[in-house]
Structure 1
């Protein structure tokens, strides 16, 4: 058989970790003109005529290859969807998390949509035929970032520096008259400056609420044709259309959630994240890479500028600042919110009991309602998310699945929050009592209480079930769960931060950091000079919020974690599986410097889990050894004791920097 002189190195789309490497195939002469790095292909795989999907990663001369190679079966598409820089990013991210590169590629490259792709190819051909080259639309050149002096941020980003930037906590009016956070305008102006310099910008935000603000801010500074939305809320055709637009060789601004960081944008000059401490940045799919880490890796590979913008700095960002990896930047003049920390009023105050707010906060809310809306932040959605036995006060449990019971409204029967079963005749398993009492109060119950305390006022509820992006400037009490607060025209005339003690009662290493971030983001929605009342919380957190020095709290928190060897002072990996495979995996670690193991401990269903702590310098070695253990376990086939074939290989789950383990 004649040889074409080309060998393709192909990444196979397979879930098997032992196949996480490139396979060599011969390029047939009839496909030689279409074969190029990044294109989708079909290749023969193993035996029995099986065909697998894959991507050509490299093309090489066959002079160094001996023996017979299988031919590529077909070129699926001539569009090079897997760019070299995205492949390098996927490989690096996978290696860092002991995962497979194809798992990252699935996040980076959307499924093919044939009609969308054909239309895009035709449009590209038409544009080149008409003009001789692809048309480039210029952005309005600007080096001014509102609130920051002497083009400091623009120059630093253009030089490829990495910055931890403190956002201005106020609202501004967008070009279309809508109100947006100042942070959104800052990101939009940074993106505009990058495009004006002929480079692309990737701007990542946690969720759709933030994305709406960012899009409104961008509308004021760049043409709409330069902005590409790339997020999980798009339909498959729209998402693929956005992805193909990113392949064009012209600068653009890509906005979206964590997946936007993998966008194949042309010549990336800026990567920016808003509020990197938000848990929505944690990828739930293997290899579980956090968006912050993906941004750090891509910035290092591309040499672009990096901006981590937030009101309240995460402990991970604080660590990067302290080791000199990030430089600090702040506005010239910080317009701090007016924070008032209040202690809980005496329990015999009827109004405080009815409205769950102390008299000081009640008076501020009453006065503010004469001028506009008041925001009330609460901990939980629903009416009464958790109820308990009225006699012994044990948590009420579902008889079917043992899940917690809650109330959807004042007159509804209790229902299970896990399985949804309605409980019509409940009795306590501990004392036999049949009465229920409220343990936690949600947004719905809070709305009832405030309706009685402020008769005649308009009540608005915003939570996960009732999403609301904006409210007007008329008087209203807006009860919102953390992270679901709508933006008020001109800002809220007062902000009440309730349930602080309940929020801090959550068992998590990050609880203090999360609460400070929630409260700071809510305080930034207040109008200039409007009071922000923090109810029931004192100490270092209240001081950090009141002085608007969240970075000082982050520094103290990081120092405490460093003394205890807690993340992010060290990295961690959770290793879960059967006792046998976990023991073998831990045995693979040997004794690299700075590594210690906690556990294993039972994790339910006959499984155990261990936590591996290690210094950042040992990360590559630990990841490599745990990856080897995963491959070895996945390659096993165990003979069935019944003699009826083979059982699946035992599973071993490894997750680096797992946010749920501490």
Structure 2
């Protein structure tokens, strides 16, 4: 029998938008002790005797009013409490609800990112631990934040300030001899200071390389029990064990984008490193960016917020200009030594045609041999693409070579290999240009493999290291070597590289995206900070304002100018966007459901493929909640609309095909 007068409000684990609300269930007397807010439950659905999983969010009295009225009618009882552990904290639920409403999504989609799947063995082992072992006592960190003034950043975090932090662009050696970026030392010291005060800290980084650096920096100043790491490479049991540790008490939580949803008790700080990195864009519905989740959580919990990166993102600059973030930087500005070759190449025809001009060759030779009084050491060569020859073209007319079977791009995987399709793998043995009927190829883009081969011939006897997605290398020693790496895959050298060559800059800038300049600055800066103090970083073939900003470290000025251009064009982040994709009739219905007075304008609908169109809504930030509510209501109506079965389809009804994404980074 149900316990007298006790009602459980449950959110179901379902992606269906029409089920994204509380369902009321009676709490049976035998479950009353375990049925506390936050536990996983199994409840019946009044359709075909089905059951569903969900979370018990609230427990209320039966006579407690909701919306001005009491509960009426008989309620179905909760069928089972799956686990006695309250895995959904009130703070995480408020965050999930707010983010779902902000992006016209469902709270359950957010909760799938926030709460990992239950692992029974790990849970039982955690429950068997004594309380004192679950929650280690805080202790003061061994070092403080350096380079920003004694205790300045720690005090700002303690006051709950919101900072746009400019990092110190250099490498740092930890006590155990490990080299990491100075940014990792700074964020680790801030997180440790927060934890020592009895509060949790969350630090979100783009990928595992950044995570390894941050973990190494924290290991040097904080006990291992204080750290909880969330990584996609972890086993499910290990990840769930860390999640349970975070429930026990204050911790330092580090990880990729989903760590921003961690159940941090007494949250004191959220930090996001390199918020402009596309890895922070969530690929799963409702597609909430790490930075946006951090901003909302900071507002809900009143903790400190630190947004930092080697390059100031345009989104962070907008927040600085409206006063939401405060600009903060080191006491002393240190910049890598950047050498630009664009002027030399423009003046010399031979240098203009060369992929590696004479100045870059000279810098590499001096670093490898120790000429010019500099110490010998490794040289980093950054290239745009992995592979051997990733792009081929017709040798006569220059048209891109495409597969005759699937029209995919042709590539050459190694020296002397027959070109093949990058999509279907078919060999291009009978290829012929469909424009001029020529049968010979020429290289358009040289990949990391071909670059390593050419440099190996140019510097005989020198070790060549290839680092890309297929050949991951995290660290190299201080001995002379040529390290050829694709952007984002550069290993850290002990003591830093004695020279850094940035190739293919013009090809990187040729990408058709709104963020191309910002991305290039981040890629180049990530490589430049790996150089030893005073070692040259040579940017090949790129000139103009972008090269000047990179060489002088004027990344804030770049973000400010970029934001001015975005405002004139009404591009993000000057305005917000919502993309509506699906069948044309459905998309038009959703667009018509939004009051035109709420919008700046509507772009489209325009065709995406044979069956899909897309419309883009542009609106001001102040109107975001109203637009999201209108779009979400239209999505629910579309999901519950009766659909005719196709001819001969029996009782089959096609599923609604509608995709809604707010702040879509793929649009521009």
Q: Fold conserved (TM > 0.5)?
A: yes
Which one of 470, 474, 477 corresponds to residue 472 of structure 1?
Answer: 477
Deviations 1:308-356 (A, max 9, x none): 12111000001001100000111111221111111163798778867x2
Runs of 5+ unmatched residues, structure 2:
64-69, 370-375
Question: Does the CA-based 8 Å contact 1:639-1:645 persist in structure 2?
Answer: no
Aligned residues: 654
Question: How far apart are 1:423 and its partner, in Å?
Answer: 2.8
Cross-structure match for 2:525: 520
1:360 aligns with 2:366: no
Cross-structure match for 1:631: 636
Which one of 580, 587, 591 corresponds to residue 582 of structure 1?
Answer: 587
Relative distance call for 1:342 and 1:351 in structure 2 (3 A) is: closer
CA distance in structure 2 between the partners assigned to 1:295 and 1:505 by the alignment: 32
CA distance in structure 2 between the partners assigned to 1:407 and 1:79 by the alignment: 55
Cross-structure match for 1:607: 612
Question: How far apart are 1:2 and its partner, in Å?
Answer: 5.7
CA distance in structure 1 between the partners assigned to 2:345 and 2:410 by the alignment: 30
Deviations 1:95-121 (A, max 9, x none): 111100000000000111111111111
CA distance in structure 2 between the partners assigned to 1:509 and 1:120 by the alignment: 47
Cα-Cα RMSD: 1.6
Deviations 1:291-324 (A, max 9, x none): 0001111111111111112111000001001100
Question: Does the CA-based 8 Å contact 1:592-1:618 persist in structure 2?
Answer: no
Question: What secondary structure sits across from 1:336 in the alignment?
Answer: coil
Cross-structure match for 1:91: 97
Deviations 1:244-286 (A, max 9, x none): 111102x210111001111102111011111111100000000
1:107 aligns with 2:113: yes
Question: How far apart are 1:58 and its partner, in Å?
Answer: 0.5
Relative distance call for 1:597 and 1:2 in structure 2 (3 A) is: closer
Which one of 641, 651, 666 corresponds to residue 660 of structure 1?
Answer: 666
Deviations 1:229-250 (A, max 9, x none): 112221111111111111102x
Task: Map residues 2-81 of structure 1 onto 2, 5 A cutoff.
Answer: 3-63=3-63, 64-81=70-87
Question: Does the CA-based 8 Å contact 2:467-2:485 persist in structure 1?
Answer: yes
Question: What secondary structure sits across from 1:360 in the alignment?
Answer: helix
Relative distance call for 1:639 and 1:134 in structure 2 (3 A) is: closer
Question: Does the CA-based 8 Å contact 1:387-1:396 persist in structure 2?
Answer: yes
CA distance in structure 2 between the partners assigned to 1:418 and 1:629 by the alignment: 38
Cross-structure match for 2:136: 136
Cross-structure match for 2:490: 485
1:650 aligns with 2:656: yes
Question: Does the CA-based 8 Å contact 1:175-1:219 persist in structure 2?
Answer: no
Cross-structure match for 1:456: 461
Question: Does the CA-based 8 Å contact 1:202-1:260 persist in structure 2?
Answer: yes
Question: How far apart are 1:383 and its partner, in Å?
Answer: 0.9
Question: What secondary structure sits across from 2:574 in the alignment?
Answer: coil
Cross-structure match for 2:67: none
Deviations 1:16-59 (A, max 9, x none): 11111110000011111110011011100132210110110000
Deviations 1:465-500 (A, max 9, x none): 111110111111111111111000000111111111
Question: What secondary structure sits across from 2:228 in the alignment?
Answer: strand
Cross-structure match for 2:186: 186
Question: How far apart are 1:589 and its partner, in Å?
Answer: 1.0
Task: Map residues 402-413 of structure 1 onto 2, 5 A cutoff.
Answer: 402-413=407-418
Question: How far apart are 1:170 and its partner, in Å?
Answer: 0.6
1:442 aligns with 2:441: no
Question: What secondary structure sits across from 1:176 in the alignment?
Answer: coil
Question: Does the CA-based 8 Å contact 2:138-2:197 persist in structure 1?
Answer: no
Relative distance call for 1:448 and 1:351 in structure 2 (3 A) is: farther
Q: What is the TM-score when the length of structure 1 is the normalising length? A: 0.96
1:201 aligns with 2:206: no
Question: How far apart are 1:633 and its partner, in Å?
Answer: 1.1
CA distance in structure 2 between the partners assigned to 1:491 and 1:24 by the alignment: 60
Question: How far apart are 1:416 and its partner, in Å?
Answer: 1.8
Runs of 5+ unmatched residues, structure 1:
none
Question: What secondary structure sits across from 2:308 in the alignment?
Answer: strand
1:383 aligns with 2:388: yes
CA distance in structure 2 between the partners assigned to 1:348 and 1:321 by the alignment: 43
Cross-structure match for 2:154: 154
Question: What secondary structure sits across from 2:152 in the alignment?
Answer: helix
Cross-structure match for 2:239: 239
1:294 aligns with 2:300: no
1:334 aligns with 2:333: yes
CA distance in structure 2 between the partners assigned to 1:327 and 1:554 by the alignment: 15
CA distance in structure 1 between the partners assigned to 2:588 and 2:121 by the alignment: 50
CA distance in structure 1 between the partners assigned to 2:78 and 2:474 by the alignment: 51
CA distance in structure 1 between the partners assigned to 2:450 and 2:589 by the alignment: 52
Cross-structure match for 1:281: 280
CA distance in structure 2 between the partners assigned to 1:424 and 1:268 by the alignment: 61
Question: What secondary structure sits across from 1:617 in the alignment?
Answer: helix
Question: Does the CA-based 8 Å contact 2:174-2:180 persist in structure 1?
Answer: yes
Question: How far apart are 1:168 and its partner, in Å?
Answer: 0.5
Cross-structure match for 2:263: 264
Question: Does the CA-based 8 Å contact 1:472-1:488 persist in structure 2?
Answer: yes
